Amino acid sequence: MIILGIETSCDETAAAIVKNGKEVLSSVIASSQEIHVSTGGIIPEQAARQQIISIVPVIEKALKKAKLTKNDIDAIAVTNGPGLIGSLLVGVETAKTLSFLWKKPIIPVNHLVGHIYANFVGQKKKPAFPILSLIVSGGHTDFVLIKKHGEITWLGGTRDDAAGEAFDKSARLLGLPYPGGPAISKEAEDVKKSNLSKYPRPLIKEDSLDFSFSGLKTSVLRSVKNKKLTKEERKQNSAEVQEAITDVLVSKSIKAIKKYEPKSFLLSGGVAANTRLREKLKEEVKNNKLTVELFIPKPILCTDNAVMIASAAYYNKNSTPWNKVSSNPQLSLKD
Ligand code: KG4
Ligand code: ZN
């Protein structure tokens, strides 16, 4: 089954064509990130306008790269939330229009579920159930337990800022460009990782699977306010921020794995692209002698893309009420 995935929940306009949920035939991502660097963050109206400009060329390019035509597509998968409403509307309305013109069914995909399914792409073997996943993105930090496709239970999450947001806001305070996560990670690259304990690790000792990152941002603000940081100080502070956030994420992940004993643990979302987080999680799973199988998508599949949307649609096609939103409910999916 060949699915065209469309993802426009934020500042990326993405289209991908994926066969049977795992084989990527093409993936195209246009980003309006450069525009947002000048404003230090995303202005939703601007992001939506860029989505309108990019969506059709991006879909055309995805078809061309895969050497396919509309006739080869079995279904259209589209992110229907959560995200910026203006940006989401561009993707959803485009998918509905194509569905009507091409006579193909639509499969709506939750963006966060999409992030999880990036772990089903390009892997030697599929994650086994029960699956525990930590979704760490710009707007979300959540633990979910998945017993089977379509059966997802939320276990805990952030009480305030998301992990990606903590990276982005701290980066801004340190004078680094948007998006802050990759910028902080780059600054921290050459800093020695031992003895980094300047910033708090909120809720790390608590048994709950909740997070709270807003206090961390305040600590960074207090520390750097009215100071002109030297290059070295900026690097050091970046490493400190990264270590504090990743310490909490890793410690809570280990707690969650011990409590729920899943067969697979899936790290998902944009922050999963963080090298330090990836290496620390692998190390701690090993140190704790956990038998869980750890999955982390390759970095390009961690941040927003349409491959994950097409993959999630494939595996959840029977559990999602896709036919209810198809512009033509008579259309049926063929395998
Ligand atoms: O999943 P994503 O692309 O978009 C949302 O759904 O929000 O995540 C974006 C977030 C941003 O906060 C960005 O700073 C963070 O992921 N991010 C990173 C890295 N790459 C992206 N954070 C830390 N290290 C990275 N390498
Ligand atoms: Zn995302």
Residue closest to 31 by CA, chosen among 46, 18, 20: 46
My answer on whether omega of the bond before 82 falls inside 30° of 0, hence cis, is yes
Task: Give the orientation angle of helix 231-260 with respect to helix 275-287, to 10 degrees.
Answer: 40
pLDDT recorded at residue 38: 77
Q: Could you tell me the CA-to-CA distances from 304 to 61, 125, 217 in Å, in that order? A: 18, 23, 24
Work out the mean pLDDT of the chain and round it to a whole number: 93
Query: What does the DSSP 8-state code read for residue 203?
Result: T
Q: 138 C-alpha vs ligand 2 centroid, how far in Å?
A: 7
Spatial separation of the C-alpha atoms in residues 168 and 219, rounded to whole Å: 14
Spatial separation of the C-alpha atoms in residues 81 and 204, rounded to whole Å: 30
Q: Could you tell me the CA-to-CA distances from 114 to 25, 80, 222, 327 in Å, in that order? A: 17, 11, 37, 22
Atom of ligand 1 nearest to the CA of 304: 3
pLDDT recorded at residue 335: 34
293 C-beta neighbours (distance < 10 Å), count: 15
What backbone phi and psi angles, to 5 degrees, belong to 134? -105, 115
Residue closest to 133 by CA, chosen among 147, 143, 123: 143
Q: 73 C-alpha vs ligand 1 centroid, how far in Å?
A: 30
For the whole model, what pTM was predicted? Answer: 0.94
pLDDT tens per residue across span 112-152: 999 999 999 988 899 999 999 999 999 999 999 999 998 89
Query: What does the DSSP 8-state code read for residue 126?
Result: P
- Bridging pattern class, strands 75-81 and 23-31: unpaired
Ligand 1 pocket test, candidate residues 109, 110, 167, most atoms within 8 A of CB: 167
Ligand 1 lining (C-beta closer than 6 Å): 10, 137-139, 164, 167-168, 179-182, 185, 269-271, 273-274, 303-304
Number of residues that make up the chain: 335
For the chain, which residues score pLDDT lower than 50? 321-335
Q: 283 C-alpha vs ligand 1 centroid, how far in Å?
A: 22
Which residue puts its alpha carbon closest to atom 7 of ligand 1?
138
pLDDT tens per residue across span 234-284: 999 999 999 999 999 999 999 999 999 999 999 999 999 999 999 999 999
Contact predicate 26/65, CB 8 Å:
yes
Q: 272 C-alpha vs ligand 1 centroid, how far in Å?
A: 8
Enter the tokens of residue 230: 């030297």
